[in-house]
């Protein structure tokens, strides 16, 4: 009799960290091409940013102590000695003097604060100052943003727009990044036909997983080689898997992961090379029949055929493996949103359950409403914004309990404007289109 030797989720996650190694292929790219790429080395600032003291307002560069006590009825009077030009030398401000300075202009020597133009008045060559300023007021100091020698970004960091801006500021115009991992995906099943198929024959279904998993990989910056659909026929499956395996850094197989008589994925994966199968069966629902293997240095994953299972396991397992290829430390907080559970959820002790939920706003609070449905139903995913975990040791969760919703990555988590849940964005979420969840 065949059965799964299921592994605890936490053991599988540890095994992923310990087993799979970073890619050793790098390339150098210009900043303009670096968005979304993962740094292959630490980046340090070679110089201070800003490189000189700058004004943060349009106003007058002064010596702060000469404005002390100034107010509307008793202004300070200073000699106006000139104008600071943008992008040029600023000269100096002596005792009793002031210079006009635009926002971002270089502070003249001797000046230590800027009076905003709203609080001063030019009267010929004199400046009346109506409000005192403290030393450093309205000034960004040299090196206040970044210090020369400072570590600004670490290896394994995925570059966001603000990171590119920071590197531009310190004069880093090209960066060494990990090569995009090339990931192959192969779907198996006699009943699976391409999505373009107009007329399905009895028993046929269109391939959902290839495109959905491919897009999930693209969202992580991977390059995808679509291996197509292969019949449940061992020799053909093995030949196609071997051919694809040669071209990729990681191989994903969808379907045939269970223990049925025509489920050949385990056998095929075992044939790809040593050390072979590491895990067949994880104590999760959905996704129990997941298979993890390694052939040489390359990760090989067998995803359960049910589309909802395949995508939940992508988020739980495959995402982490791709991050290992990038030597990327997971962000300390994933985009999550706290919500209250709308109903009791029982669960089997010893198994981690991942329950799809839709987020709803009721009386000013965000509620997580379970979206039930078998893992073969893909529409349950588009109706949900994320999943909640019921950890292995728990018997379930209670109605009204606060839960953390692990939001689906990218566009799968869109919450429409009418349903705007948080009035803002979840921590770490930068997408304009996904208030509350991203
Ligand atoms: N005796 C047992 N049978 C099953 C068990 C079990 O523990 N004992 N586990 C069930 C679970 S849970 C899952 S999940 C599935 C996983 O099965 P496979 O990975 O072998 O997948 P298939 O049998 O090939 O397909 C399952 C289901 O999904 C559909 N499918 C497959 N590929 C695609 C695709 N690319 N796009 C859309 N849909 C796909 C396929 O038609 C099947 O309906 O095993 C259970 N069985
Ligand atoms: O564990 Mo399966 O993946 O529920 O359908």
Question: For the segment 248-298, what is each residue's pLDDT rounded down to a tens digit?
Answer: 999 999 999 888 878 899 999 999 999 999 999 999 999 999 999 999 999
The DSSP line for 34-53 is -TT-BBSS-EE-SS-BSSS-
* ipTM computed for the complex: 0.96
Q: What six digits make up the tokens of 221? A: 């910056």
Kindly identify the ligand whose nearest atom is closest to the C-alpha of 255: 1
Looking at the predicted structure, is the pLDDT value of residue 79 above 50? yes
Rounded Cα–Cα distance for residues 292 and 296 (Å): 13
Domain boundaries, given as residue ranges, for the chain? 9-24+180-325, 28-49+144-178, 54-140, 336-419
The DSSP line for 321-354 is HHHHHTTPPPPSS-SEEEEEESS-EE--TTSEEE
- Between the alpha carbon of residue 379 and those of residues 306, 368, 376, the distances in Å are 12, 17, 9
More confident residue, 72 or 432: 72
More confident residue, 91 or 410: 91
Q: What six digits make up the tokens of 423? A: 């009035």
Mean pLDDT of 402-415: 66
Looking at the predicted structure, is the pLDDT value of residue 330 above 80? no
Distance 311 CA to ligand 2 centre (A): 11
CATH number at 54-140: 2.170.190.11
The superfamily in CATH containing domain 28-49+144-178 is Molybdopterin biosynthesis moea protein, domain 2 (3.90.105.10)
Atom 40 of ligand 1 has which residue's CA nearest to it?
Answer: 305
375 Cβ below 6 A of ligand 2: yes
Strands (E), 296-438: 298-303, 336-341, 345-346, 352-362, 365-370, 386-390, 396-397, 402-407
pLDDT reported for residue 294: 98
Q: What is the pTM of this model?
A: 0.86
Distance 259 CA to ligand 1 centre (A): 10
Residues having CB within 6 Å of any atom of ligand 1? 187, 189, 191-192, 205, 207-210, 254-259, 263, 286, 288-289, 304-307, 309, 375-376
Q: With cut-offs at 50, 70 and 90, classify the pLDDT of residue 133.
A: very high
- Provide the residue count of the chain: 438
306 Cβ below 6 A of ligand 2: yes
Q: What is the pLDDT of residues 176-233, one digit of tens each?
A: 999 999 999 999 999 999 999 999 999 999 999 999 999 999 999 999 999 999 999 9
CATH number at 9-24+180-325: 3.40.980.10
More confident residue, 350 or 427: 350
pLDDT reported for residue 3: 63
Distance 187 CA to ligand 1 centre (A): 12
Given ligand 2 and candidates 208, 352, 375, which is best to mutate, with the most ligand atoms within 8 Å of its CB? Answer: 375
CATH of range 336-419; options 2.40.340.10, 3.40.50.2300, 3.30.420.10, 3.90.1510.10: 2.40.340.10
Average pLDDT of the chain?
Answer: 91
Looking at the predicted structure, is the pLDDT value of residue 347 above 60? yes
First to last CA, the chain: 44
> Buried b / exposed e across 309-338, counting CB within 10 Å, b at 16+?
bbbbbbbbbbbbbbbbbbbbeeeeebbbbe
């Amino acid at each position: 009799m065949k059965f799964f030797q299921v592994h605890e989720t936490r053991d599988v996650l540890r095994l992923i960290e310990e087993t799979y190694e970073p890619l050793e292929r790098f390339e150098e790219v210009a900043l303009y091409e670096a968005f979304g790429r993962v740094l292959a080395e630490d980046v340090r600032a070679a110089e201070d940013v800003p490189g000189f003291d700058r004004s943060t307002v349009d106003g007058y560069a002064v010596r702060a102590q000469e404005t002390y006590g100034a107010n509307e009825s008793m202004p300070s009077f200073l000699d106006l000695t000139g104008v600071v030009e943008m992008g040029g030398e600023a000269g100096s401000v002596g005792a009793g003097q002031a210079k006009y300075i635009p926002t971002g202009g270089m502070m003249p020597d001797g000046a230590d604060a800027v009076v905003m133009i709203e609080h001063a008045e030019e009267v010929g060559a004199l400046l009346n100052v109506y409000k005192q300023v403290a030393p450093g007021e309205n000034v960004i100091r040299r090196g206040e943003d970044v210090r020369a020698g400072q570590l600004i970004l670490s290896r394994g960091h995925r570059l966001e727009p603000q990171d590119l801006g920071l590197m531009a500021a310190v004069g880093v115009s090209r960066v060494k990044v990990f090569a995009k991992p090339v990931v192959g995906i192969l779907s198996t099943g006699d009943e699976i036909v391409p999505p373009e198929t107009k007329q399905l024959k009895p028993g046929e279904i269109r391939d959902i997983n290839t495109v959905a998993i491919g897009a999930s990989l693209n969202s992580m910056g991977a390059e995808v080689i679509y291996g197509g659909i292969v019949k449940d026929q061992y020799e053909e499956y093995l030949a196609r898997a071997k051919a694809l395996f040669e071209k990729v850094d990681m191989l994903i197989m969808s379907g045939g992961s269970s223990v049925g008589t025509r489920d050949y994925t385990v056998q095929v994966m075992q044939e790809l090379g040593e050390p072979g199968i590491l895990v067949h069966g994880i104590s999760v629902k959905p996704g129990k029949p997941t298979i993890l293997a390694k052939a040489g240095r390359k990760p090989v994953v067998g995803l359960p055929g049910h589309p909802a299972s395949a995508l939940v396991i992508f988020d739980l397992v495959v995402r982490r493996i791709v991050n290992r290829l990038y030597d990327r430390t997971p962000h300390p907080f994933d985009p999550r949103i706290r919500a209250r559970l709308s109903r009791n959820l029982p669960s089997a002790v010893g198994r981690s359950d991942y329950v799809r939920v839709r987020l709803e706003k009721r009386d000013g609070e965000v509620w997580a409403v379970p979206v039930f449905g078998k893992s073969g139903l893909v529409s349950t995913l588009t109706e949900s914004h994320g999943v909640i975990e019921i950890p292995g040791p728990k018997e379930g969760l209670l109605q009204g309990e606060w839960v953390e919703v692990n939001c689906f990555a990218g566009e799968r988590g869109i919450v429409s404007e009418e349903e705007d849940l948080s009035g803002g964005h979840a921590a770490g979420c930068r997408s304009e289109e996904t208030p509350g969840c991203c």
